[in-house]
Amino acid sequence: MKKRRLIIIVIVFFSIILYLWTPFQSGLFEDDFNLPHNKILVVAHRGSHSRVPENSLEAIQQSINNEIDFVELDVRSTLDNHLIILHDSNLDRTTTGSGPVNQQKLQDVKKYNLRYGNEITNQKIPTLEEALLKARGKILVNLDLKIIDLPDIQQVFHIIEKLNMEESVILSIQDLKLFPKLRKLNESIRLMPVVKTRNNLKKALNLKGVEIIQVKPEKLSKTLIDQIEEKNISIWRNALNKYDRMELRGDQGFKKLISNNRVHIIQTDYPEDLLEFLRTNELHP
Task: Respond yes or no: is residue 284 known to be catalytic.
Answer: no
Which residue out of 45, 49, 82, 264 is catalytically annotated? 45
Mean pLDDT by runs of 10 across the 285 residues of the chain is 56 45 42 53 97 98 98 98 98 98 98 97 98 97 95 97 97 95 95 93 94 86 88 94 94 92 94 97 91
Q: Which positions ≥6 away from 66 have C-beta within 8 Å?
A: 48, 271, 272, 275
Other C-beta atoms lying within 10 Å of the C-beta of residue 41: 25
What is the per-residue pLDDT for 217?
64
Domains (ranges, CATH) in the chain? Answer: 24-280 (3.20.20.190)
Q: Is 87 a catalytic residue?
A: yes
Provide the 10 A C-beta neighbour count for residue 282: 7
Residue 210 phi, psi dihedral angles, 5° rounding: -80, 125
- Which of 264, 247, 263 lies closest to 255, judged by CA? 247
Question: Which residue among 37, 49, 87, 158 is the active-site one?
Answer: 87
Q: Give the predicted TM-score (pTM) of the model.
A: 0.87
Q: Residue 224 CB: number of other CB atoms within 10 A?
A: 16
Beta bridge partner(s), residue 120: 115
Sign, Cα dihedral of 10, 13, 16, 18? negative
**CB-CB contact of 80 with 106 (8 Å):** yes
Q: What is the pLDDT of residue 4?
A: 62
d(CA 232, CA 20) in angstroms, rounded, equals 24
Q: What's the first-to-final CA gap in the chain, in angstroms?
A: 41
pLDDT digits (tens, 9 = 90+) for 176-218: 999 999 999 999 999 999 999 889 999 999 999 999 999 986 7
